[in-house]
Chain A
Amino acid sequence: MEREPTQTSAPPVVGSEAEARPTEALLDLEGVRRRDPAALDAFFERYFDRVYAVVTRLLGNRTQAEDAAQEVFFKIHRAAHTLDPTRDPGPWISAIATNVCRDHWRSAADRMARRSASIEDTPGLSERLTTGIADPERDAIMAERERLVREAVTELREPYREVVVLREYNGLEYGEIATIVGANEAAVRKRYSRALAELGRTLKKKGL
C-alpha cells in the first residue's frame, strides 16, 4: 500500500510495511524500555524487516548484513532504557543501522570481504538457493534483477547510498536523514536527487 508522496512526506517504504508509521503508537515502548519480552517481541517484529533491508542495501553482502542486523539489535537492546517512549523510534533505529554500516565500511573485514570470493559474488546463486523452485525461470530473472540492483546501489558513493537507502527503504523524511548523516536538509535533498540520477544511469548501463 503506497502513501501519496508529498514534498515533505517520506516515500513508501520498500520491502517492509509501508503503513507501519501510523501504528507506531500501538507499540509498548515503555515495555521495551523495561526490556519486557513481549514488548521486545513486538518491537522486533515491527522493525526487523526495515533494519535488514537497510543494512542489506548499504552493505550489499548478505553475511555482512546479518552480522550488522545482529549488531543493530544488540545495540538497541543495550540502549533500550534510553528510548524515549513519546517519540517514533524509527529514526533512532535507522541512525544505529547507518552507523553500524559505516563501521563495517571502515573495518578490515569489509575490505577483505570485498576482495574475497563469496556466495554473494556468484550471480544469482544466493537468491537461487532461497527463492524456491515453484517457478525457476521467474526466480532466475528476479534473482538476476536483484543482483543488478544490489550492485548498482553498492556502486554509489557511500554518502549517496546512505541517503537513497534511508529514504527509499526506511521511508525517512529529509530532516530525519539530515540528522542521521550529519548534513543539512538542503544537502540531503541534493544528494538524494544526484544519487538517483547516478543510479538511473548505472541501471541503464546494466540493462535495467
Chain B
Amino acid sequence: MNDSDFRDERDDLVEGASDVEILHARNVLRGSPPPPADPAYRARLKESFVLGAIEHPAAGPAEHMEGLPAVISLPRRRQSALWTGVAAAAAVLIAVLTGVLNQGPRWTITAAHGEGAVRFDGVPVSLSDAAMIGRRVDSGVQIEVPPGGDVDLRADGVIAMQLTGGTDLTVPPSPPRWFGRRSELHVREGEIRVTTGPPFRGARLDVMTPDAAVEVTGTTFAVILEPAGTCVCVFEGTVHVGLRDKAAMEAVPGGQRRFVFRDGRDPVSDSMRDVERTKLAMFREIQLAAMGDSRPE
C-alpha cells in the first residue's frame, strides 16, 4: 500500500480527518495481523466441525465457570471436548451395535449328501464331514459342490437353498433384519433351489448368473444353469427375470419358467416342466417344515 493507493480511496473519507493519521492507522492495522489461533484449539474445533460434533460453547457442562477470569475458563473447553469425545464414541458404538444387530442370521448346513468333496474357497471338505462343512460355510465363501452331491443351506427361517451337484456359487449374506435388506447371490454353474420364509418379507434377493438377473421378493423357485443359458422355474409367487444387465426384466408367475439364452436371443417363457415342479414341491415342503411354517412368502 503506498500513497497513491491511499489517494484512490481518499474520497471515502470525511472532511476534517487527517490524511496522515488515517494512512498511519491503516498501515499499522495492515502490518499487525492478529496472532494466530492456538494450533491445538484450531485442530479440535476443525475436527468437531467436520464430524458434526461441534457444540455451542455455552452448552458445555461447566456453565458455572462463566464469568470467571478468562484464563480460568480454559477447562470449560476441555470439558466440552471431553463430552464431545464421549458423544462421538457413543455414536460410533451405537452405529457398530446397530450394524451388528442388523445382520441377518448365519447360514447353516442342514443336509449334505453324496460322495466326494465340496470345496470352500478351493479347500476340499468331504461331504461326509458335516461338522467341518458347517464350520466352513459363511457368507462370501465360494462353494463348489461335486457332481452327484448336494448341499442344503438355511439361514434360520429366512431363506433356504439347495445346491445340487456341479453348482458353483458364492454364498450371499442373508438379508439384514431391519434396513438395507438386500443381498446378491452369484451363481456361476449348476442348479439351485431357493425358498423363502415369513421373515424374508420386505427383503430382496438378486440372483445373478452369467446370463440372467433374477429379482426375488419372496417365493420358491429354481435357477438352472445350462450350456445354452439360464432357466428360472417359479413354483410359487412371482420373480422377475431378465438379462444380466437387468434389461428385458419380466415377471414370471408360479408354474412358469423363463429361459435366458447365452447367445443373446430374446428370453422365452413357457410352462414349468413337471419334473422340476415335483422337485421344488418336495424342497419347499421339507424346508418350510424345518422353518416352522407351511406357507412360503
Stretch at the interface among A21-29, A33-41, A88-96: A33-41
Query: Taking A5-B9, A109-B67 as contacts, is the C-beta distance between A199 and B49 under 8 angstroms?
Result: no
Contact B30–A197 (Cβ < 8 Å): no
Within 8 A of B (CB), among A106-141: 108-109, 112-113, 116-120, 126-127, 130-131
Chain B residue contacts of A14, Cβ below 8 A: 29-30, 32-33
**B67 and A164 contacting across the interface, CB-CB below 8 Å:** no
Is the beta-carbon distance between B45 and A200 smaller than 8 angstroms?
A: no
CA distance A46 to B78 in the complex (A): 25
Q: Which of A33-65 contact B (CB under 8 A)?
A: 35, 37, 40-41, 44-45, 48-49, 52-53, 56-57, 61-64
- The reply on A155 being an interface residue by CB < 8 A is no
> Does the CB pair B57–A71 fall under 8 Å?
yes
Return chain B residues, CB-CB under 8 Å to A203.
24-25, 28
A116 to B54, CA, bound (A): 28
A110 CB → nearest B CB, Å? 10
Shortest A23–chain B CB gap in Å is: 19
Chain A: interface residue count, which band? Answer: 35 or more
In the assembled complex, the CB of A189 is this many whole angstroms from the nearest CB of chain B, namely 5
Chain A residues near B246: list those with CB within 8 A: none
In the complex, the chain B residue whose C-beta lies closest to that of A53 is: B34
Chain B, Cβ-Cβ closest to A45? B46
Question: Which of A2, A57, A62, A74 is the one whose CB lies under 8 Å from B55?
Answer: A74
CA distance A58 to B34 in the complex (A): 11
Chain B min CB distance to A42 (Å)? 10
Q: Is B14 an interface residue (CB 8 A)?
A: yes
* A193 near B29: Cβ-Cβ < 8 Å: no
B 270-284 binary contact with A (CB < 8 Å = 1; else 0): 000000000000000
Q: Provide the bound-state CA to CA distance between A120 and B73, in Å.
A: 13
| A19 contacts the other chain (CB 8 A) | no
Task: Give the docked Cα–Cα distance between A73 and B46 (Å).
Answer: 9
Q: Within 8 Å CB of B11, what residues of A?
A: 7
Query: Which residue of B has the minimal Cβ distance to A67?
Result: B57
Interface-facing stretch out of B35-43, B141-149, B166-174: B35-43
Contact residues on B (Cβ < 8 Å of other chain), bracket: 35 or more
Is residue B52 within 8 Å, beta carbon to beta carbon, of the partner chain? yes
Contact B45 A73 (CB under 8 A): yes
Q: Which residues of A contact B8 (CB under 8 A)?
A: 5-7
Cβ of B5 within 8 Å of any chain A Cβ, yes or no, is yes
Q: What is the chain B residue whose CB lies nearest that of A41? A: B50
Q: How far is the CB of B170 from chain A (nearest CB, A)?
A: 33
Note all chain A residues with C-beta closer than 8 A to B58: 71
A113 to B65, CA, bound (A): 12
Q: Are A70 and B54 in contact (CB under 8 A)?
A: yes
Contacts A57-B34, A63-B73 given; indicate if A200 touches B20 (C-beta within 8 A): yes
A52 to B46, CA, bound (A): 13
A189:B25 contact, CB within 8 angstroms: no
A76 CA / B50 CA spacing, docked (Å):
11
Contact call B51/A193, Cβ cutoff below 8 A: no
B-side contacts of A63, CB under 8 Å: 70-71, 73-74
Contact, CB under 8 Å: B67 / A149: no
Chain B residues lying within 8 Å of A84, measured Cβ to Cβ, are none
Q: Is the CB of A74 within 8 A of B57?
A: yes
Pairwise interchain contact A193-B38, C-beta atoms closer than 8 A: no
The reply to whether the CB of B95 lies closer than 8 angstroms to some CB of chain A is no
Interface positions, chain A 146-182, Cβ under 8 Å from B, are 146, 149-150, 153, 164, 168-169, 174
Q: Which residues on B are within 8 Å of A, measured CB to CB?
A: 1, 5, 8-9, 11-14, 17-18, 20-26, 28-30, 32-38, 41-42, 45-46, 49-52, 54-58, 66-71, 73-74, 77
Listed A/B pairs (19) with beta-carbon separation below 8 Å: A2-B1, A11-B1, A11-B26, A44-B45, A45-B46, A49-B37, A53-B33, A63-B70, A63-B71, A67-B77, A74-B54, A113-B70, A117-B71, A126-B35, A149-B32, A168-B30, A189-B12, A189-B13, A208-B28
**Taking beta carbons and an 8 Å cutoff, which residues of A are in contact with B?**
2, 4-7, 11-12, 14-16, 35, 37, 40-41, 44-45, 48-49, 52-53, 56-57, 61-64, 66-71, 73-74, 76-77, 108-109, 112-113, 116-120, 126-127, 130-131, 145-146, 149-150, 153, 164, 168-169, 174, 189-190, 192-194, 196-197, 199-201, 203-204, 208
